[in-house]
Structure 1
């Protein structure tokens, strides 16, 4: 499986860790799983580790994925910290589309900064 979801309960953060080739369908499955299996009616705080992803979505796929995220009520006002490697494509179209639902998305280059930002944001 190219992803796993972990709950860091003491921080109130859900971690999504991707590895290898992650298709559009698999990314949609992650969002679905977060909404169905992990949503507890509070503001999502999601840490996404994309450092090991080796498949980038096309522009059209980015737009579809971003629109899907924006359509999910559970993601309204979500806080999302994405960790990527230097030089990694940052899927700006996903960020632009999904941000229309009120999400706040920040890109980081290390886990500590990403987690610190997530827990420092007011709910």
Structure 2
């Protein structure tokens, strides 16, 4: 994920994988399970700092009406990916060429998916 550090990406991955909003302690525990070594587990204060940064960047929001606060992603993983794709296209000097290059490097399965989605869009 562009613009995110390693721990920020790990926190976002856990929030996206969760069925519900998580507390900082729950996130810390999930990050510990994901890590290679238990001595690499982040402290709760570190997780809270990362969550505050992600909140300022517009990636997460927190429920302030409960204690401890519960955090969830503002966008789904797919919505975030689509926004990143739009950001990159917006920076391209030749948007059509960038799209052509992207489509030209797509696998047959990805091409079929793109074709199906464009057909569905045209029918709306």
TM-score bin, normalised by smaller chain: under 0.3
Higher-strand-fraction structure: 1
Greater helix percent: which structure?
2
Q: TM-score w.r.t. structure 1 length?
A: 0.26
Structure with greater Cα Rg: 2
Name the structure, 1 or 2, with higher relative contact order (CA <8 Å, separation 6+).
1
**What's the TM-score, normalizing by structure 2?**
0.26
